[in-house]
């Protein structure tokens, strides 16, 4: 995907709309400094984009200490977002980096194996190791500096592969330890325990956001994500082939709302330690393909091969949809972007990115 050297105006407008919607939380963070790990992916992109929009629109100043494995590449990729922002880059792997460079009292720990690493075959043990060691180090750092709050960006994968959807934070789910490709699932659960227990002993507020599936600018369309693959195919008028029977259930929240919910969880005192983050509007994989085709007016043919469901680098699950009753009941959150609008927004960005990216060339063999 392309570098975000100059942020396109339509994306600036989306960041600004998010800043307007989540202005109460952003105002609570005015003058704060945040240590952000995992900030180089789509989640970090949107957190930075919304923070910059809050500054541009309302004069809200939020500083960031951003951990990255490649500072030079990040400066190039996010140069449009970093302008006029107080962002200090800390270079290194989260498992070895010198966190003493940051004294930020608020921490968002989102560092995890990337989607591309999963797609390229990163082993389950390597995933577990990255999550376990990275979280252990960030939790110890939080204790050392007597941090105010740690927000751990966890995953709905922590619920395991069983269940029919509607995963609730206080539900009881069987978590098998012998599942193939269970590194992310087990790693997230272990990391949650480390974060909670370390912070509990130190008297630090700790919250875990169990994030599900998302769509929006920055989400890959050249990997194993169905929504990205379908959008790419529909734009190119190419056949959309679903390997399974298409009945698996998913839900998708726009990254606009993901960033707003995370910043709200960081800014506000919460009653619980774990919150689901995602959309409760479920859609089958086949219906998702049909929606994308219809929204784009594409001539792509959709075919279901009827094989077993598969998942790259993670255990297969039929339903992956959260119950968001807890967070909706406790926090005054605005309505999320409806799915059709979220898909249209994403398609707009993918079409833009294809014109400025090597992905188009690599996918077409040019």
With respect to residue 204, please indicate whether it lies within any of the assigned structural domains: yes
Q: Lowest-pLDDT range, 154-158, 173-177, 226-230, 298-302? A: 173-177
Rounded Cα distance, 246 and 221, in Å: 19
With respect to residue 113, please indicate whether it lies within any of the assigned structural domains: yes
With respect to residue 143, please indicate whether it lies within any of the assigned structural domains: yes
Q: Lowest-pLDDT range, 4-13, 68-77, 125-134, 307-316? A: 307-316
With respect to residue 308, please indicate whether it lies within any of the assigned structural domains: no
With respect to residue 229, please indicate whether it lies within any of the assigned structural domains: no
Asked whether residue 363 carries a pLDDT value surpassing 60, the answer given is no
| DSSP E strand boundaries for 274-362 | 274-277, 283-284, 302-307, 319-320
Tens digit of pLDDT for each residue in 272-285?
999 999 999 999 99
Q: SS3 of 359, please?
A: helix
Per the structure, the count of domains in the chain is 1
With respect to residue 362, please indicate whether it lies within any of the assigned structural domains: no
With respect to residue 258, please indicate whether it lies within any of the assigned structural domains: yes
Rounded Cα distance, 147 and 136, in Å: 15
Tens digit of pLDDT for each residue in 328-347?
999 989 999 999 999 999 99
pTM score, two decimals?
A: 0.92
Asked whether residue 2 carries a pLDDT value surpassing 60, the answer given is no
pLDDT at 114: 61
Tens digit of pLDDT for each residue in 156-208?
989 987 666 689 999 877 677 777 767 888 899 999 999 999 999 999 999 99
pLDDT at 1: 46
Q: Which two tokens stand for residue 38?
A: 């995992």
pLDDT at 194: 97
Neighbouring C-alpha atoms within 13 Å toward the C-beta of 246: 13
Rounded Cα distance, 7 and 12, in Å: 7
With respect to residue 298, please indicate whether it lies within any of the assigned structural domains: no
| CATH number of the domain within which 169 lies | 3.40.50.720
pLDDT at 3: 46
Domain, as residue range, for 46: 9-218+251-283+315-339
Mean pLDDT, residues 2-27: 89
């Amino acid at each position: 995907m392309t570098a975000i050297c100059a942020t396109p105006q339509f994306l600036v407008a989306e960041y600004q709309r998010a800043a307007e919607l989540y202005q109460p939380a952003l105002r609570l963070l005015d003058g704060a400094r945040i240590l952000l790990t995992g900030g180089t992916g789509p989640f970090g992109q949107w957190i930075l984009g919304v923070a910059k929009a809050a500054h541009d629109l309302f004069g809200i100043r939020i500083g960031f200490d951003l951990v990255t494995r490649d500072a030079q590449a990040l400066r190039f990729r996010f140069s449009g977002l970093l302008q006029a922002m107080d962002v200090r880059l800390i270079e290194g792997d989260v498992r070895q980096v010198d966190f003493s460079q940051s004294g930020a009292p608020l921490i968002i720990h989102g560092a995890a194996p990337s989607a591309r690493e999963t797609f390229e075959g990163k082993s389950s043990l390597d995933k577990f190791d990255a999550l376990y060691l990275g979280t252990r180090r960030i939790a110890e750092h939080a204790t050392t500096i007597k941090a105010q709050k740690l927000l751990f960006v966890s995953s709905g994968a922590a619920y395991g592969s069983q269940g029919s959807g509607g995963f609730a934070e206080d539900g009881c789910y069987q978590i098998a330890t012998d599942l193939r490709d269970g590194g992310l699932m087990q790693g997230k659960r272990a990391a949650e325990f480390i974060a909670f227990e370390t912070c509990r002993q130190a008297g630090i507020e700790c919250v875990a956001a169990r994030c599900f599936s998302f769509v929006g600018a920055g989400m890959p369309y050249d990997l194993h994500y169905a929504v990205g693959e379908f959008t790419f195919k529909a734009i190119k008028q190419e056949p959309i082939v679903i390997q399974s029977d298409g009945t698996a259930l998913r839900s998708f929240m726009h990254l606009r709302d993901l960033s707003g919910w995370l910043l709200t969880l960081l800014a506000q005192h919460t009653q619980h330690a774990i919150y689901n983050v995602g959309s409760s509007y479920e859609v089958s994989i086949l219906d998702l393909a049909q929606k994308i085709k219809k929204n784009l007016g594409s001539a792509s043919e959709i075919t279901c091969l009827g094989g077993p469901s598969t998942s790259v680098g993670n255990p297969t699950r039929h339903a992956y949809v959260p119950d968001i009753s807890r967070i909706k009941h406790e926090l005054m959150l605005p309505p999320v972007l409806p799915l059709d609008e979220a898909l249209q927004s994403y398609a707009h960005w993918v079409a833009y990115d294809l014109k400025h990216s090597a992905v188009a060339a690599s996918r077409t063999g040019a």
